[in-house]
């Protein structure tokens, strides 16, 4: 789908009376996102089909979006149909990596994560998927082998490392996770933060969202410790820190292998090969730091 085709589809939806000022939004490497106005109100149209190789099922994204709306965490759903999700537009600014280096913003984002984990389950309806990163990594590896990826030689070592990380994570508390906490998926409105994009939501360990946010924002250890203390209400024990850093590594490896898959399957105009290489370097550094710290005593 081209950008012009996406604009035409967005404007032709049956939920409008007189759509106007349609324009593509930046960002989004699995969707086309369009902002438009109808009857004096602004909306965002997300166009995207299922992406089974990444576990993206639009019916599931809609279920989570409605639950997040009911919990007061995400914009309201205005309209939906296969491949289409229309959300109310909220005047806000997407956060960037540097924003999360501000202590006040990081604590607000941590509170938002806690609200997702603790408040959303009461609003869920129907079947909800899990998001266990280590299963995803193994599945990605099988797909990469089947499709003849350029990364096949690296897979045995990466999967061995994934097994090490899974053992280090250990038993988990199950929460409803967002599982894709890029800074741009958190919006700052004048009075609060919002979260968007539920493509990867599902039941998971809380450490995945916390570690994912930290790795996506390149947080330093003092900021990570403050985040964990805010979330858990007490300083992180050596055992928690060990589990957390293992899951943070796993979140980086998942982003890396996600891009490896996208190199082969995505039709979106994006340099996935460069994205893979950058994330692989970041993951390698994180895994080296994890192994250097050793097991907790």
Q: DSSP assignment of 97-130, as one string? A: GGGGGSHHHHHHHHHHHHHHHHHGGGG--S---B
User: pLDDT at residue 211 above 80?
Assistant: yes
- Mean local confidence (pLDDT), 263-281: 91
Q: Is the Cα dihedral 39, 14, 52, 2 positive or negative?
A: negative
240 vs 228: CA distance, rounded Å: 9
**Exposed / middle / buried, residue 32 (Cβ in 10 Å: 0-12, 13-18, 19+):** buried
46-50, 109-113, 128-132, 194-198: which has the minimum mean pLDDT? 46-50
Q: What percent of the chain has pLDDT over 90?
A: 91
Domains located in the chain, CATH noted: 3-88 (3.30.200.20), 93-293 (3.90.1200.10)
Phi-psi region of 104 (alpha: psi -120 to 50; beta: other; left: phi over 0): alpha
226-257 confidence digits (pLDDT tens): 999 999 999 999 999 999 999 999 999 999 99
Q: What pLDDT band is residue 295 in, cutting at 50, 70 and 90?
A: confident
Average pLDDT, the chain: 94
Q: Cβ contacts of residue 216 below 8 Å, gap of 6+?
A: 97, 181, 182, 183
CA atoms within 13 A on the CB side of 120: 26
Structure tokens at 208: 């995945």
Q: What pLDDT band is residue 157 in, cutting at 50, 70 and 90?
A: very high
Edge-to-edge strands, sheet with 93-94:
93-94, 186-188, 193-195
């Amino acid at each position: 789908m081209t950008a012009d085709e996406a604009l035409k589809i967005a404007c032709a939806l049956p939920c409008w009376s007189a759509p106007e000022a349609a324009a593509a939004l930046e960002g989004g490497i699995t969707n086309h996102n369009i902002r438009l106005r109808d009857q004096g109100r602004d909306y965002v149209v997300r166009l995207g089909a299922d992406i089974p190789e990444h576990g993206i099922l639009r019916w599931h994204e809609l279920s989570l979006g409605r639950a997040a709306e009911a919990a007061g965490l995400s914009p309201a759903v205005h309209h939906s149909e296969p491949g289409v999700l229309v959300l109310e537009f909220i005047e806000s600014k997407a956060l960037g990596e540097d924003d999360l280096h501000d202590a006040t913003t990081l604590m607000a984002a941590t509170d938002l994560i806690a609200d997702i984990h603790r408040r959303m389950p009461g609003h869920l309806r129907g079947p909800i998927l899990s998001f266990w990163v280590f299963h995803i990594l193994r599945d990605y590896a099988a797909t990469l082998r089947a499709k003849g990826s350029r990364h096949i030689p690296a897979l045995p070592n990466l999967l061995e490392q994934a097994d090490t990380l899974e053992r280090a994570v250990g038993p988990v508390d199950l929460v409803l996770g967002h599982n894709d906490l890029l800074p741009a998926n958190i919006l700052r409105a004048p009075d609060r933060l919002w979260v968007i994009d539920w493509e990867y939501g599902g039941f998971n360990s809380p450490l995945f969202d916390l570690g994912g946010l930290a790795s996506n924002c390149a947080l330093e250890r003092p900021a990570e410790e403050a985040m964990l203390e805010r979330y858990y209400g007490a300083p992180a024990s050596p055992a928690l820190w060990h589990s957390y850093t293992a899951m943070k590594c796993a979140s980086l490896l998942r982003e890396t292998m996600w891009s490896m898959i996208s190199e082969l399957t995505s039709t979106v105009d994006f340099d996935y090969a460069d994205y893979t290489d950058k994330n692989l370097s970041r993951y390698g550094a994180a895994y080296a730091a994890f192994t250097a710290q050793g097991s907790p005593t």
